[in-house]
């Protein structure tokens, strides 16, 4: 859709949510290592845990980094709140790694994981940020956390921290929809929302593939 067409913001937001949901369902057939569901050894699980710890920390840094350049007071508060919350998630994952004698930070991220967060950090408009991260990213993360919690193949020591993380992430997919409906009221803003969702989905998809390569094929960068 071109940037000159203005649609009802509610409709745009519903479309974007449907796009993210469709991507989530497309993963069902072959869930990524990221979800923990297909993993069979603790070595694999610990590697994914380290990878997801990296995400929690980078997420906190991204939210914190947006503060100064977010003029909308409500979004600024949310970003600050999320930054703190993500560090809490990091702490939960660090505990599980340390309890198993694993250095939480002895992890080198694959290229797409670096690129994902650097890209999020570089987004300049509030609407594109909300679309790419809380909307596309957090909805997807929540979806895959629910898969992990429901899977008999995922051991309790992995489920435990994710029960708490999952509870906190529940609301993360909803507030961006509200905010986007309020702010995406020009054709330009709506184009940035579409682009933000595409960035969020595509870069995460690439990260999932590369994490699969690490876990299942021993690839390292």
Please tell me whether residue 86 binds Fe ion under the rule CB under 5 A.
yes
Q: How far is the CB of 218 from Fe ion (least distance, A)?
A: 27
- The Cα 23–Cα 20 span in angstroms is 5
CB nearer Fe ion, residue 9 or residue 134: 134
Q: CB under 5 A: which stretch of 7-15, 33-41, 83-91, 210-218 binds Fe ion? A: 83-91
CA distance linking residue 167 with residue 171, whole number of Å: 8
With contact defined as beta carbons under 8 Å apart, do 62 and 117 qualify?
yes
Q: Which is nearer to Fe ion, 55 or 190 (CB)?
A: 55
Smaller CB separation from Fe ion, 89 or 204? 89
Residue closest to Fe ion (Cβ): 89
Q: How far is the CB of 90 from Fe ion (least distance, A)?
A: 8
Asked whether position 52 contacts Fe ion by CB under 5 A, the answer is no
Under the binding rule (CB under 5 A), the answer on residue 89 touching Fe ion is yes
Contact call for residue 45 and Fe ion (CB under 5 A) = no
Residues 135-171 as b/e (b if ≥16 CB within 10 A, e otherwise) read bbbbbbbbbbbbbbeebeebeeebbebbeebbeebee
Residue 209 to residues 33, 51, 206, 214, Cα–Cα distance (Å): 9, 13, 5, 9
Rounded to 5 degrees, φ, ψ at 102 are: -105, 130
Least distance to Fe ion, CB of residue 191, Å: 25
Is residue 60 involved in binding Fe ion (CB under 5 A)?
no
Count of positions on this chain that bind Fe ion (CB under 5 A): 4
Looking at beta carbons only, is 9 or 109 nearer to Fe ion?
109
Residues 99-138 that bind Fe ion (CB under 5 A): 138
Among candidates 111, 130, 110, 108, which has minimal Cα distance to 120? 130
CB of 213 to Fe ion, least distance (A): 23
**Nearest one of 194, 174, 198, 172 to 184, comparing CA atoms:** 194
Output the six-digit token pair for 66: 């947006």
Positions touching Fe ion (CB under 5 A) are 56, 86, 89, 138
């Amino acid at each position: 859709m071109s940037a000159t067409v203005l649609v009802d913001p509610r409709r745009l937001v519903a479309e974007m949510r449907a796009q993210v949901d469709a991507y989530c369902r497309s993963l069902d057939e072959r869930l990524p290592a990221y979800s923990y569901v297909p993993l069979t050894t603790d070595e694999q699980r610990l590697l994914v845990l380290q990878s997801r710890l990296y995400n929690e920390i980078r997420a906190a840094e991204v939210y914190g980094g947006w503060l100064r350049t977010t003029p909308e007071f409500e979004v600024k508060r949310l970003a600050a709140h999320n930054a703190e919350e993500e560090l809490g998630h990091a702490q939960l994952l660090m505990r599980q790694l340390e309890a198993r004698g694993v250095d939480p930070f002895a992890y080198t991220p694959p290229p797409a994981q670096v690129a994902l967060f650097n890209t999020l950090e570089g987004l300049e408009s509030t609407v594109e940020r909300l679309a790419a991260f809380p909307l596309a990213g957090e909805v997807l993360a929540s979806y895959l956390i629910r898969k992990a919690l429901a899977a008999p193949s995922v051991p309790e020591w992995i489920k435990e921290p994710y029960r708490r993380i999952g509870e906190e992430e529940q609301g993360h997919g909803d507030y961006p929809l509200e905010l986007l409906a309020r702010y995406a009221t020009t054709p330009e803003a709506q184009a940035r929302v579409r682009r933000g969702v595409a960035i969020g989905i595509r870069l995460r998809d690439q990260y999932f593939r590369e994490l699969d390569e690490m876990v299942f094929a021993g690839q390292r960068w």
